A = this chain, B = another copy of it.
Amino acid sequence: MDKIAEARIEADPSLPLIRMARDFATTPERLFRAHTDPGLFAKWVGPDDTTTLIDHWDARTGGSWRYVSVVRGTEYGFHGCFHEVRPDRIVQTFTFEGEPEGVALETLWFEDLGDGRARLRSQSLVDSIESRDGILRSGMEVGINEGYAKLDGMLHDGTV
């Protein structure tokens, strides 16, 4: 399996914003499908030791979503609404239910790099530098990198 690149994750130097970029050996269309089809999304999102159960999923502009991640018997809930779902961009809100007052505004872009490669870019916007740094300290990069490695495999074996 080709590993295109590790995810690049960085905080903006002055804004409460985290940016991420990751290349995949696929098309933007398949990458979009991996993020909008609930059965596919549940298979790859999160760390290797996590099972994701979709509670609610309506991936269209004005829809909403909720899923539960199960790690060694403990459940962690996440939910939000889809502000916009279009082939090149998804804008959605995101709350981890363990910190119910916190809300992030997330944007994902699906870009065609040609030659069967596509770039996923994302940003996560919160309302304080402290919240941004708390997310960075939470170990998010483990789940992101393990999740995208699973997605690499699903793209390679034709699951997506």
Q: Which residues of A contact B (CB under 8 A)?
A: 14-17, 56, 61-64, 79-84, 91, 93, 95, 103, 105, 107, 123, 125-129
Contact = CB atoms under 8 A, between A and B. Distances in A.
A53 B17 CA distance: 34
9 contacts: A15-B127, A16-B16, A62-B63, A63-B64, A80-B83, A81-B83, A83-B95, A83-B103, A84-B103
- Copies held by the complex: 2
A76 B103 CA distance: 28
A93 B105 contact: yes
A127 B64 contact: no
A123 B101 CA distance: 14
A105 B103 contact: yes
Contacts of A128: 15
Contacts of A79: 62
A106 to B, nearest CB: 10
A63 B83 CA distance: 10
